[in-house]
Structure formats: C-alpha cells, structure tokens
Structure 1
C-alpha cells in the first residue's frame, strides 16, 4: 500500500469548528432576512455577527478553492489518463484511427493503454474491433514509483462473428488473447461461441464459453491431455450420445474429440441400452479416477430421492458408450 498521511486530530477539530460556525452563520443570516422581510427587523449584535461572518466567508472560500483545485486536478487527470488521439497512431501493435479514446494505466504513456474505443471498426485478428481492453501488469520500485509495465492479455469486442483457431466466436462478446511483451498477439485464449459450431458430432449452443487449455493440472502434479474446455450456458442442454446434458463442462483433446465431461446433470429422463436414468442424475464421462480401468465410459449417479434424501453410499453406474455396463461403484 502507498502510505498516506492522515490529518491530525487538531486539524479535524478546526474543520468541524469552522463548518459548524458556517452553518450557524447561515441560519442566523436567514433569520435576519426573514425578520427584515416581515418588518420585524432588529439590528444584530455587530461584533459577534461580524466574527462569525468572517469565519463563514473564510470557510466558504476554502471550499470554493478546494472545488476549483479538484476541477483542475480532474482536468489534468483526464488529459493524463484519458487522452483522445488527434491523429492516427500505432500503439500496442494496433493501428488506431484519429478520434480513438484511450484509458491509460500509466499517466501520459499511451503505450500503457488498458482500454481503447475506436470511432470506427478497426480490423484486427479477423475481428472488426470497436473496443479493446487490456490487462496491464505494473512494475513498481520500493518507493511505489512506476518503473515499467507489461500487457498480459487483450479482450476485443467487435461486430458480427469471427473465426478463431477454427472456432466460430461471437465478436459482440469479448474475445480474449494472450499478448507478447510488445503488445502483439501471442495466442487465442477464450470467447463466447456463436451458433454453428459442431465438434465430434456435438452441436454446441451459442453462448458456450470456450477456453484454450494446456492441460488440467491436478494436485499431485499430473497434467491432463485436454486442449479445449467448454462451459455450456446455464440451463441450455447439449446432446452427447443418448443424453441431453444440462450445466455441462466438457473437455476436448487436441483433435477436438470428446475427452471428458467434467460435470453435468441429465436434463430429462434418458435411456442407454436397457438402463433408464432419471432427470437430474449426475453424469460424467471419462474422469481421471476411473480412466485406467474403464476408459471412455459414462459414470451416472442417481439424484436424491423425492423427499430430498440421498443414500449414504449412492451407486454410480459405469457404462460404455455402446451401452454395456462395466461396473457399479459405491462412493
């Protein structure tokens, strides 16, 4: 934290005293005006009224001076942190047009922009961008002085749709990229999918959150082989095999084949082979803890009973995608 000197008790008392005197003077003056207007004028005791008037005018002058200083500070801050480009300029590897409005992370250093709003769309990474937002990591010294900054990621909002790494993304929602230290794009990170994405026979609903992955890391250090993670929109089902899954999080491998369903529930009653499963049953696919013994299998756990009860050791059915039951597990 940056150390800031707090006002002393004496200063606070003086401020309170002058503020109270100003309020008293205001009430006294209003009363005198009312008495004069109603014909009941009586001259006030001159010395006390003069003294309290002087205190009040001094306080009002201080408030006015403070207000003017704050207005001046806000104007200077706006010029330092919220400039508008008077001419086209290339910043952060982006060709920005005249009229672009910037929000800077470091005063007067335009390369440190953390937000840019364009007066007209700017074509970049296959997006007609209207706004760019970046996360800027600030480096400071022991005196809390800024000694450097590094852009780490960038979120681009634009028009229509965009193709990123073979995915059809909704450009009206922020599309995120990792950045190089010079501000250039390093890698695609995440986006909200538009309609029209089909992978491994799975039709993904619009609004699905797509995230690039380098592999899920477990507490024991094991790194999984997932490369894409998809979070379905809340309460929007996705069909995989014979199941309609709600609130699903699924992972794909490098070939974009179904690798794992990390969590989901059945959106309605489902049947696989001769097995019938109730709606709201918890369902997973190919989790790590059974992958070695039962690779590529569904794990389905019945929901709590109608009365809200749940068996102490609910049974989980392990079933292959072709319907063969492989095991029944008890937690």
Structure 2
C-alpha cells in the first residue's frame, strides 16, 4: 500500500467557504452589471456594500490563491525534471550499463549521466543488462548496508543463470566491481526442481555471500534461496508444503527447507495436521542427524501418535527420514521460536 498524505479536514472546509464566497461575489457583480435596481441599492448602502464585497473578495481569493500556488509548484517541478532529463544521442555505457541511442535518463545531478536513477529504453531497442533484454531500470545508490542495486523491468520472461524470470516483476541486480550481478527475481511458469514444477511467482535470491562468483566456485554453502508465497503447494521429500523456503547449493541440491504442511500427513507413527511447521537441514535440536525432520504443530493443533501420547502445540517432534521418532522436545529445546511468524519479503 502506498501512503498518501491528505490535508486536514479544515482545509476542505476553508476551500468550500472560499469557493462559495467567490461564487457569491461574481454573481453579485453580474447582477450589478445587469440590474439598475441593484446598483441603486448599492448606492444607498455604500458602507455596508463595501464591507460585504471586501469580505467576499478576501475570503474568495483563498481558493484561486491556493490553485495558483499548486500550479506554480507543478511548473517548478516540471522545470526541475526537465533539467534532470537527458536523452542519449548514441549508444553509451553509463555506470556499467550498455544503453542504446534514444535512452531517456533521469539524473540526480543535472548534466552528469553517471548520476542517473532511472533509465527508459526506446521501444524496440532494449537495454542489455547481464544478457537480459530490458525496457527500463531503476538505480539505487549504495548504502552502508548494501551495494548499489539495479531494478530491471522486462517485457517478457527471460532466463538468468538457469532460472526463468517472470515479466511483470522487476529483476534485481547488484553492482560488483562495476558490473551488474544477478541478485533475485520472481520465477515464471516453466521452472523445475527435481523434475517437478516450481510454482510461478516463487521468489529466488542468490546468496549474498557468493554473488559475483562462478557457480562452480560457490562452495558447499547455500547459493540459492527460494520462497513460495502462493497457495500452490510444492512437494519436497515426499511432503506437500506451502509457504516453503528452500536452500540449494550451486548444483541445486537441497541443503535444507522450511514450510507448512498443506494437508494432514502421516510419517511413521505420527500424524500431523495441515499447517504443521516442518524444518530440515541445520537443525539445532539435540540428537539431530543429517536428513532429519522437525515437526512443530501450530497453536490449537495436536500431532497424533499411534499407540502413544499426542503431541500438543509448544512441542516439536524430531524424526528420521524413515519415520523413526528420535525425540519429542519443547520448542525452546528444539530451537523453534514459538511466536507469530512475521516475514518481510518481496
């Protein structure tokens, strides 16, 4: 949601009163111009008429004065924008980006192309950014917390590092060593992982620790982070999951995941309700082994155990991939935060 600042209620009341006074004054002047009786009355009540007309004029002037102020502000903004607007007469490389002739730049500092914060490429002549054909881009200056970034608009689905990015969402790049490096995008229809389709709209991000490195040199840590935010489930380790977060290595092998069961699921002696949180990879629970799964029922739900005691919310079940229950732990001991989840994402 875009925040909009609205004037206070008194502003609208004042504008309505001013407009009413202005209308009354103009009507009175029209009547005086066409009616001898009105002029005769005014001649006999000069003092009262002068006071009334002066009051109407003063109050009525507020509305046109306010409109004139807005127009002057708009003119100043338009002139300032015109001074910051530049059109390239020939293909030019600006701030690490190759731009065709006819590109329209909006400059932060008039006359300095390198300070552009927005570029719009001419129709039929896309700009090339890391091999990606784009119709325009936004540029954000570096801060103490993140490097300079480019937010690129594309007119059709295009591939980046083996992933098909969707148009309608911007593709993000970071500038490293003066060159744009792919950072993130939303995936289009047609991506697959382990021979199954990845839900469209999934957000994918390159691990900041390996940006700028060739894929084969990314090391054993996570290279890709995928987040599915829609209502379409995805199957991982034979589990149907929603709101899924996947961590993949450079070869797209699964390192770990976190998500919510999309339906009631049985594993070994345990049966979990839909909405149960599932974690795998990097578990902090005591006794956890590689490949183990950690299930945490949501508030108000319980996990049923065949021939045993149900596991209520507030506790987590550590299970081996074959279904063997290793332990039932409190969420604190399992390293699970028992609070409402808040996610900030794209």
Q: 2:253 aligns with which of 229, 240, 257?
A: 257
How many Å apart are 1:227 and its aligned residue?
A: 2.3
CA contact (8 A) 1:242 1:272 kept: no
- How far apart, in 1, do the equivalents of 2:281 and 2:67 lie? 69
Matches within 5 A, 1:116-265: 116-120=119-123, 121-137=126-142, 152-180=148-176, 182=178, 184-185=179-180, 187-200=181-194, 203-214=197-208, 225-262=221-258, 264-265=259-260
Alignment correspondent of 2:85 = 82
Alignment correspondent of 1:30 = 27
SS at the partner of 1:328?
Answer: strand
SS at the partner of 1:226?
Answer: coil
1:241-274 C-alpha deviation (Å, 9 max, x unpaired): 2210011112123432212223x21101222344
- How far apart, in 2, do the equivalents of 1:240 and 1:207 lie? 18
1:159-179 C-alpha deviation (Å, 9 max, x unpaired): 333332232222442111111
How many Å apart are 1:306 and its aligned residue?
A: 6.5
1:208-253 C-alpha deviation (Å, 9 max, x unpaired): 100111469xxxxxxx933221110322211012210011112123
Alignment correspondent of 2:335 = none
Answer with 285-294 or 38-47: which moved more: 38-47
How many Å apart are 1:189 and its aligned residue?
A: 0.8
How many Å apart are 1:304 and its aligned residue?
A: 3.9
How many Å apart are 1:36 and its aligned residue?
A: 4.1
Alignment correspondent of 1:108 = 111
SS at the partner of 1:30?
Answer: helix
Alignment correspondent of 2:321 = 321
How many Å apart are 1:105 and its aligned residue?
A: 2.5
Count of residues in correspondence between the two structures: 288
CA contact (8 A) 2:298 2:313 kept: no
CA contact (8 A) 1:105 1:113 kept: yes
CA contact (8 A) 2:296 2:313 kept: no
Alignment correspondent of 1:94 = 97
Measured on the aligned residues, the alpha-carbon RMSD in Å equals 4.0
Answer with 84-93 or 234-243: which moved more: 84-93
* Structure 1 residues not aligned, in runs of 5+: 1-19, 140-149, 217-223
How many Å apart are 1:70 and its aligned residue?
A: 4.0
SS at the partner of 2:184?
Answer: strand
SS at the partner of 1:83?
Answer: strand
CA contact (8 A) 2:151 2:172 kept: yes
The alpha-carbon distance between structure 1 residues 325 and 201, as it changes in their structure 2 partners (threshold 3 A), is: farther
1:16-57 C-alpha deviation (Å, 9 max, x unpaired): xxxx999968744531422443442326439958x959x879
- How far apart, in 1, do the equivalents of 2:93 and 2:118 lie? 14
CA contact (8 A) 1:316 1:328 kept: yes
TM-score (structure 1 length as normaliser): 0.71
The alpha-carbon distance between structure 1 residues 42 and 161, as it changes in their structure 2 partners (threshold 3 A), is: closer
- How far apart, in 2, do the equivalents of 1:204 and 1:259 lie? 17
- How far apart, in 2, do the equivalents of 1:96 and 1:30 lie? 59
From the two aligned structures, give the one with the greater strand fraction. Answer: 1
* Structure 2 residues not aligned, in runs of 5+: 1-16, 211-219, 303-309, 332-346
- How far apart, in 2, do the equivalents of 1:38 and 1:165 lie? 82
The alpha-carbon distance between structure 1 residues 202 and 287, as it changes in their structure 2 partners (threshold 3 A), is: farther
